[in-house]
Each structure stands twice: as C-alpha cells, then as structure tokens.
Chains A and B, each alone.
Chain A
Amino acid sequence: MVLILALAPVAVNGQQAQSASSSSRYQAPVLSAGDTSKLKGPRQPIFFRHDIHAGQDQIPCMYCHYSASVSSEPGIPSLQTCMGCHQLIGGTPPSHQAEIKKVRDAWRERKPPEWIRVHALPGFVRFPHMRHIKALGTNACVTCHGDVQHTTQISQVSTLRMGWCVRCHIKNNVTRDCSVCHY
C-alpha cells in the first residue's frame, strides 16, 4: 500500500522518470486504477504492460513478435506464448493478478482476446518488417513504435504517414522508389 502511494506520482509520468535512472535495472511502476485511466492509447481487453514485460523483465521484442525479423508481418504472440510463463507467474499486486487471470480464463475457454490494433497502415502500403530490422538492427522497433520498453500502454507515437516514411528514407539514403511500398 505504502509502496503504491510512494510510486503513484512516478506512475503518471513514469516514462521520463524511469528512463532517467538508467543505471539501476528498470522498475516498472505499479499503477492504481486512477492512474491507468490517464494513459494514452486504446485500452486493450487485457491490460498488457510492455513496460513490465519488455522493460522490467527485459523480454526481447522478438520473443513474442516472433516473425518481425523474418517476415513482412511482425506477428502477435499466440495465447500459448503468454501461457508459457503465466502458467506459473500469477503476479503480485492484485491489479496484475486480475489481468493475468483474464489470460488464463481466455486459455481455458479457448477464446483468444481481441486486441485493438494500434499501428495500422492503409491497404495499399507494404511495410516489410524484416528488411527494416535487417537494416537497423533488432532494437530498431523503437524508431517507429516509440520507447515501448518504458511505455505502460501502447499508443501510436509516429504518424506513419508517407512523408514520415520518406523523410526517414532520405535520412538513411535509401530508395524512394514508389513501387517499393506501393503495389
């Protein structure tokens, strides 16, 4: 309880506070219901926290988004992947336990959660993830998806508009040929 109170202010602007203290291992804030309502981005059916998984527990992105480095689509983890850990890990704070319970229920009912899509491109755009990761490295995710490791709830950080893509292509001096993305 005390802990929660102590951390509450951090939680609200957790990102900045944490990325500052890079020396010590990142501690994702514990949030109360009030704080979570303030967060940017859509509220997913299960309150999945990248800052805990990717930041605190330092699970590599590719562990869940398994195909990002080999395919055009990054892939989202199957429920099986979640259960791989959450068979055992039940979470300490009640808020966490509640969310993890949802995962287990979903697994029991064979009914995967319907995640709300955050990063979507129009149908006439091709974005081969693997080529970008090949070129920019496995940590390149942040260039488009933002500092996911320290983000509690995912929201779209870059415009994903054409000009945004093109500027980056110009910066990195790679092709601007239309038919690379549009066909």
Chain B
Amino acid sequence: MAEQGSPVRVTYDYVTRTIARTLGTPSRGYFLLLGAAVALLGVGIITLLFLLRYGLGLAGYSHPVYWAVFITCFVFWVGIAHSGTLISAILFLFRSGWRTAVYRTAEAMTVFAVMTAGLFPLIHIGRQWYFYWLIPYPNERGLWPNFKSPLIWDEFAIGTYFTVSTLFLIMGLIPDIAAVRDLATGWRKKLYALTSIGWTGSNEQWRHYTRGYLYLAALATPLVLSVHSVVSWDFAMALVPGWHATIFAPYFVAGAIYSGCGMVITLLTPIRKIFGLEEIITVKHFENLAKLCLLTGSIVGYAYACEYFMAWYSGNPTERAAFWYRAFGPYWWATWTMIICNGFLPLLLWFKKIRTNITALFVISIFVNIGMWFERYVIIVVSLAGEPYEPWANAVYNPTWADWGIMAGSFGWFFMWFLLFVKNFPAVSISEVKEVLAPPRGKASKAHV
C-alpha cells in the first residue's frame, strides 16, 4: 500500500485503473504461455485415452504399490488449493490487512487447483466409466455407496470445497467486476455487466454483502482445515505403517498451506512483474507470505521429526521397518529431496534479506513445490513399497510415460484456467485494496475551494 516514500500516490482511482489495466489486450507472450498450457493438456488427454482403452497397466503400478503418481498428484493439487481459502477466509477473520492484495490470486489458484485435483480420482480408478457409482443417486439396483469409506468422505469434502471456494471467489469478484464494468467498453462491458449482476455499491448491497461475506469466511475456515484432514484420513484410516498415524490431519493441513503459499509466490511473482503491480503487491506482501511459509514449513519439518521419533519410540517393529526403509531404502532419494526441500529450505526464510528478495523467494517457492510433491510421493509410494507386514510382498515400482503424461496434463489444465482468469477478471481485488487505503477525507467547505 501507500508506504512512505513510494513514488506514486496510491489513490482509489490509481488502484482502479492500475488493476483494470491488467485486463488489457494480452501480449504475444501471454498467448505463448496459454498455448503451452493447452499443449500439455493435450498430452494429458491423449494419455488418458490410452489408459481408457488398454487399462491402468500402462502406468507403473506393481504389486503392492497400487497407488502412485496419480494419487500423489491428487494430494499435491488439493494441497495447493489450500492457501487460497486460508488467505482469503482465515486472514479475513483475523483482519490482517496485507491479504487484500494477494488473496484474489490465491483464491483463483484454489479453485483451479481443486478442479485439477478432482480429476485424479476419476482417472486413477480401474473402470473410469463407472465413477458415478461413488455418488449416492437412486438407482435401479437399489445400491448405495459405502459412507464408511474415506474415499466417499473425500468425494464430499472435495465437492464441498470446490463449490464453496468457487462461490467465495465469485462473491469477492462482484464489486470489482462492477468497477471494471464502469470503465470497460464493448463486449467486455456486456460481459461484466452480466457477471456483476447489477452491482452498484449501494448501502443496502454493501450491508448484506459484507455480512454474507463474513459468514462465508466463517464457514470456509473450518472447511479448509477439514478438507485436507479428510484427504489425510485416506491414509491415516488405513493400517499401512507410515500412513496409520494420528498426526496426519494437522501435518497434512500444514503441508497443504505450505505448498499453497509456495505456489502463490510462484504465481504472484510473474503476475506482479508483467502487470506492473509493484505499487499494489509490495515486497511486504511477499515477506508476509514467506513468513507463512516459514511457519507452516517448520510445522511440516516438526511433523517429519515426530514421525521418525514415534516410529522409534513406539517400539513397533513394523513402524520402525517402514521408516528405516523410507530413509535408507531404495527410495532414499525421494525421501531426502522431501526432507531438504520442506524441512531445511524454509529455514532460510529466517533471514530478512532472503524474505525480502523476490528472486530468492521465487526460487525457494519452486523448491517448495517440488518438495511437497515428493512428500506425497514418499508417503504414498514408499510406504506401500516398503510394506513391512508381509515380508514376502515385493515391490518393483517405477513410473512410466503414462504417469508423467497425466501429470503433465494436470499442469496444463491448471495453468490454462489460471491464465484465462487473470486476463479476464481482476487478479487483484480492487475494492479490498481500497479498503486498506486511507479514504479521501475532507469537508464540504474544502470542496468549494
């Protein structure tokens, strides 16, 4: 915001126009990026067609590693989806002002990440064409799904999360769309006129809007925490050593927010540069995000330590075997990638120099993403491969082109939507940025001067 010594005076008008400018006609670079995303998506779709025709055998699965890259990606994207609602809802309840400049991006990211994550359960099941059997709909056979299964919990949690976060995003957008509507011309004006559903900013509208927004935030907050807890229960409810742990819910939530913040930084850095939003998204915002990373990252690191400690302290031979296998088994490289990226890297953020250096943050954020992907890979694949209950079960797991193809597709899908969004809707909240500005003061008398 308007800090001392900032070159331009950030006024309401400045905010509106700067942000509205981001919606201008896109550059060639933009189209290149979009093209790349769509191409990746194409790869994913082709891979999926192969999977449908020939079966999941094309992926790297092997007994007993029956979940692998697909579920890893699923958890990864669900994780990404978390910071958004956290920043917009929880920080909103905490009245922390700095969120205003970044929460729109985060929220959009959330929605698209959930859209991506939601695809994986459909892709990874053996008979994708029967996915609807998981939905409780009245059918001729008189059968219902099994609500005891964590997968059904997932379905409800993810479904709810997608619906609510989408509504939350749209809610926040309405006043801003109205703002750009009043500046726009041509087809865009029509579009915004429709999508702003008659917003004028009258006191009645603000009155209900603010209240409603508050309650939405209040609902979204426990939801955020629940969703990744439920996802974590997919594993915690199973008796696989390395999965079956009570620490999982908080551990996953922290991890999710950690990865989410990482992704926000990854996305904001270029947006800020390209759209010239330096005055609105300042270093201070990045620093705060970094702090959030530091906090959650430390929690994650602590969780890792906890897992190993409990494995040792419990004296449970299978637990011990599982974690020994993790750290020193054939998949040690994955484990150590995860520990270094998530356990140690965030510690750099203790230094203000690094916290306030955008480039450094950007690099770190990339590693955070990688680290968190590997965390899920380790938890899922390595725990199954190291199956210690049944000494005879032997695993020889290696991902194949099919795994990578689908994963690439998911990134394409995500970035396609994100890019489309930032060019067509204000990627930074107009009204809320204004809220944290000093309003134009002044008495009638002055007005006449």
Q: Which residues of A contact B (CB under 8 A)?
A: 161-163, 166
Contacts and interface: CB of A to CB of B under 8 A. Distances in A.
A163 B141 CA distance: 4
Contacts of B140: 161-163
A161 B141 CA distance: 8
Nearest to B141: A162
Interface string B131-147: 00000000111100000
11 contacts: A161-B140, A161-B141, A162-B140, A162-B141, A162-B142, A163-B139, A163-B140, A163-B141, A163-B142, A166-B141, A166-B142
Contacts of B139: 163
Given A161-B141, A163-B142, 4 more contacts: A162-B141, A162-B142, A166-B141, A166-B142
Nearest to B139: A163
A161 B140 CA distance: 8
A166 B142 CA distance: 8
Interface residues of B, number: 4
A178 to B, nearest CB: 9
A181 to B, nearest CB: 12
A169 to B, nearest CB: 11
B141 to A, nearest CB: 4
B126 to A, nearest CB: 15
Contacts of A163: 139-142
Contacts of A161: 140-141
Contacts of B141: 161-163, 166
Contacts of A166: 141-142
Contacts of A162: 140-142
Interface in B269-314: none
Q: Which 7 pairs, one residue from A and one from B, show the smallest C-beta to C-beta distance?
A: A163-B140, A162-B141, A163-B141, A166-B142, A163-B142, A161-B140, A166-B141
A150 to B, nearest CB: 29
Nearest to A162: B141
A123 to B, nearest CB: 15
A161 B142 CA distance: 11
Contacts of B142: 162-163, 166
A163 B138 CA distance: 11
A17 B149 CA distance: 55
A30 to B, nearest CB: 40
A65 B436 CA distance: 86
Interface string B153-174: 0000000000000000000000
Nearest to A170: B142
A161 B139 CA distance: 11
Nearest to A178: B143
A40 B40 CA distance: 53
A162 B139 CA distance: 10
A27 B142 CA distance: 42
Nearest to B143: A162
A118 B135 CA distance: 33
A163 B139 CA distance: 8
A154 to B, nearest CB: 24
A120 to B, nearest CB: 18
A162 B143 CA distance: 10
A161 B311 CA distance: 51
A131 B213 CA distance: 63
A79 B141 CA distance: 39
Interface string B300-334: 00000000000000000000000000000000000
A163 B140 CA distance: 5
A35 B416 CA distance: 63
